[in-house]
Amino acid sequence: MKIKVIGAGLAGSEAAYYLAERGVKVRLYDIKPKGFTPAHSDENFCELVCSNSLKGKDAYSNACGLLKEEMRVLGSLTMLAAEATSVPAGGALAVEREGFARFVTQKLKAHPNIEIICEEVTSVPEEWAIVATGPLTTDALSAGISGICGGQLHFYDASAPIVSRDSLDFEECFFGDRYGKGGDDYINCPLSKEQYEAFVTELLAAERAVMHEFDKREIFEGCMPLEVMASRGFDSLRFANLKPVGLKDKDGNRFYAVLQLRKENAEGTAYNLVGCQTNLKWGEQRRVFSVIPALKNAEFLRYGVMHRNTFLNSPECLCADFSLKSRPTVFFAGQITGVEGYVESAASGILAAAHLIKKLNREQPVIPPNTTVMGALSAHISGVNADFQPMNANFGILKAPEKRIKDKKQRYAYLAERALEEMRGYKEKIR
């Protein structure tokens, strides 16, 4: 029997390699080099957008760096390729892009357990398979996936920034729901007239990220960026995203405008900036939102992103082992599951493959603990979430330390050491 892996991006390549290294025969399907998605041009697999797409490399100060260390523990192909093609870039794990793609492609083509088939797959397989077709899944396969998942498939990713609760200035904000209903579900960040005007001025002047044409067609019809809304009139946000109606603090004060933050995880360590989906560059997001007094020292766990992204409403469709609830022999991996970023996608490919092997051997899949980045991402894609959006690696999604550690460097170091110890134990469990 040969396992189908559909898509040879980072997630699919990792999945195919992981399976093959453990003696499982694989058929790896991809439309290259006969066809290309709008985002791709190189005939090799695993194209990266830029040389530093793999982000930071320090596991003790950067959650993506920690995730890469977890992947190394499990024998990641992405990490092998990155080490073989790395270029100097300070704290970032930068690579020579063409060399990186070529390294991965050659490894896969040379593996005796991998058969590569250049062919578009237009329907979800009935048999054992991993679907890792990425954010630009072809229309035919998207339709097939949507049919199986009851329409639970999204075609754009428009998400707001997420900040750490511990980094908020609680002298400048307060808990409470609109009109006093529902308890203290929101943190409210009030603005005076002068503060509101300063915020909108900076928002309108900020530099936006460049979008591809295939992004623009999908997103702006479905979700309005904060800066676009603001451009329609200086007071437009006061009657929409930042409306103060029904909100007052414990002293009964009312405000000119209010930004609300909503709890992003059950532990309440991370908060979403409600209605602040944005296409500003990441550095600009930090600068602009810090104008709001409560956010002046905010630690951003995830920046807002807006781009074409086919992804499942995974909590409705997928189990924590990345398999379909309705078809347990079919697994998904990569950005289509709701993990955000190249490294995160690659990590999900490893996990999907590890879980498939367990099921193939009639064993129960072992989910990594949420003290690891891999485990926390698994929990994100499968946990209850009424407003599911893709998530990248950040320390805010990990289970909080047993005791509060106020110093950020010490907290991150503790989380990293705990995660790597847990991941080494996890490796033994899935051996």
- Tell whether the model's pLDDT for residue 266 goes beyond 70: no
The H or E element that residue 94 is part of is: strand 94-95
CA–CA gap between residue 225 and residue 262 (Å, rounded): 18
Between residues 17 and 120, which one has the greater pLDDT? Answer: 17
Q: Which of 48-57, 72-81, 368-377 has the lowest mean pLDDT?
A: 48-57
Residue 204 and residue 45: Cα distance in Å, rounded? 39
Which residues lie below 8 Å from residue 382, measured CB to CB, with a gap of 6+? 314, 315, 318, 319, 320
User: What pLDDT shows up at residue 48?
Assistant: 78
Are the C-beta atoms of 78 and 10 separated by less than 8 Å?
yes
pLDDT of residue 49: 63
Give 339's DSSP letter.
B
Instruction: Report residue 307's pLDDT band, with 50, 70 and 90 as the boundaries.
Output: low
Give 32 or 408, the one with higher predicted confidence. Answer: 408
109: closest CA among 16, 37, 18, 22? 16
Quick one: pLDDT at residue 154? Answer: 67
Kindly state the average pLDDT of the residues 378-403.
Answer: 87
Q: Quick check: 317 and 149 in contact, CB under 8 A?
A: yes
Q: Which range is least confidently modeled, 119-133, 200-214, 288-302, 337-351?
A: 200-214
Task: Give the pLDDT mean for 87-91.
Answer: 67
Q: Which of 429, 322, 299 is nearest to 380 (CA)?
A: 322
pLDDT of the residue at 214: 44
Reduce the DSSP state of residue 161 to 3 states and report it.
Answer: coil
pLDDT (0 to 100) of residue 150: 76
CATH architecture of 3-155+309-429: 3-Layer(bba) Sandwich (3.50)
Which range, of 25-34, 75-84, 209-218, 290-299, averages the lowest pLDDT?
209-218
Structure tokens at 270: 């991370």
Structure confidence at residue 244 (pLDDT): 93
Indicate the average pLDDT of the chain.
88
- Structure-model confidence comparison of residues 79 and 262, the more confident one: 79
Q: Which tops the pLDDT comparison, 351 or 264?
A: 351
Q: How many residues are recorded in the chain?
A: 431
Question: Fold identical between 3-155+309-429 and 163-306?
Answer: no
Q: Tell me whether strands 3-6 and 129-131 are parallel, antiparallel or unpaired.
A: parallel
pLDDT of residue 158: 64
In the chain, what percentage of residues exceed pLDDT 70? 90
List pLDDT tens digits, range 193-206.
999 999 999 999 99
The CATH number of 163-306 is 2.40.30.260
How many whole angstroms from its chain centre is CA 300?
Answer: 14
Give the contacts of 173 (CB within 8 A, at least 6 positions apart). Answer: 187, 188, 189, 190, 261, 294
Domains of the chain, residue spans: 3-155+309-429, 163-306
Q: Does residue 217 or residue 272 have the better pLDDT?
A: 272
In this predicted structure, what is the pLDDT of residue 221?
A: 43
pLDDT in tens, 145-193: 888 887 766 655 567 898 999 999 999 999 988 887 766 778 999 999 9
Report residue 41's pLDDT band, with 50, 70 and 90 as the boundaries: low
Q: What pLDDT does residue 156 have?
A: 59
